Amino acid sequence: MRKTVLITGASRGIGRQCALDLSFDYDVIINYNNSEKEAKELLGLLKANGSNSIMIKADVSDRRQVDDMVEKIISYYGRIDALINNAGIARQELFCDVKSEDLKRMTDINLGGTFNCTQAVLKEMINKKCGKIINMSSVWGITGASCEVVYSATKAAIIGFTKALAKEVSLSGITVNAVAPGVIDTDMCKFDEETLEGIREEIPLGRIGDTKDVSGVVKFLLSEAASYITGQVINVSGGFVV
């Protein structure tokens, strides 16, 4: 029987690429919030790859929407084998300009979304005594980024969350790991050419990351080959952060 994987924020960027890569082996559930057109287009591609996929709109920061989403998944597939907590937002501004509403929104989505989706799927995983959870952190969660204090804080929190939860659920046969991408070419990282050139010069491998650089690691972490790996943070930054 094919396994199921829920990918939050799968409508665009890294989540979309993970969905495409995993669609050959998994029934992929596309979670999206605003980008319905992109999600629909992706759904067609996943089905063409043989995945019995569905798409579900849910704001991951809203617990009721997340619970409804997970209920739909369980009633449709009868199982949920893996969760990729990928949905996230970023914002660049001076720390002194950050408004408390911005702090709340970013924390609610980046950390709260990870909390909501993980808690919603865990009961089922604990009952089955197996499951894989992958959380999307960032190298900024390791080193901190100027003008991205709140974003860095949420991504650092995801690392703590990953390590602690990995210890708590390991005896239930569940692994929990994090991926910390560097600068990856998506809508989140749109810079002018001059800025991109400056970034490239600071990356030892000499290029901006592609979404496939991240999805390949996610695919590995979901595979049997990674069954003895838990509580880890895999840095995918071309050596930008070592």
Q: Which residues are catalytic?
A: 151
H or E segment to which residue 70 belongs: helix 63-77
Q: Of these, 45, 98, 188, 203, which contacts ligand NAP (CB under 6 A)?
A: 188
Under the criterion CB under 6 A, does residue 60 sit at the interface with ligand NAP?
Answer: yes
Residue 81: strand, helix, or coil: coil
The dihedral region occupied by 11, where left means phi > 0, alpha psi between -120 and 50, and beta the remainder, is alpha
Question: Cβ closer to ligand NAP: 1 or 195?
Answer: 195
- Tokens for 44, please give them: 């067609």
- Distance CA(34)–CA(11), nearest Å, equals 9
Q: Of these, 4, 33, 53, 235, which contacts ligand NAP (CB under 6 A)?
A: 33
Closest CA to 79 of 31, 124, 126, 130: 124
Under the criterion CB under 6 A, does residue 133 sit at the interface with ligand NAP?
Answer: no
- Distance CA(163)–CA(188), nearest Å, equals 26
**Total number of residues that touch ligand NAP (CB under 6 A):** 30
- Distance CA(151)–CA(109), nearest Å, equals 11
**Quick check: 61 and 116 in contact, CB under 8 A?**
yes
Tell the residue number behind the tokens 């910390």, with chain if given: 180
Least Cβ distance, residue 43 to ligand NAP (angstroms): 13
Stretch that binds ligand NAP, among 30-38, 120-128, 162-170, 198-206 (CB under 6 A): 30-38
Site for ligand NAP in 89-128 (CB under 6 A): 89-90, 109
Least Cβ distance, residue 172 to ligand NAP (angstroms): 25
Query: Which x/- pattern over 140-179 shows residues binding ligand NAP (rule: CB under 6 A)?
Result: ----------------------------------------
Question: Cβ closer to ligand NAP: 2 or 105?
Answer: 105
Closest CA to 196 of 188, 208, 186: 208
> Which residues of this chain interact with ligand NAP, rule CB under 6 A?
8-9, 11-15, 31-35, 59-61, 86-90, 109, 136, 138, 181, 183-184, 186-189
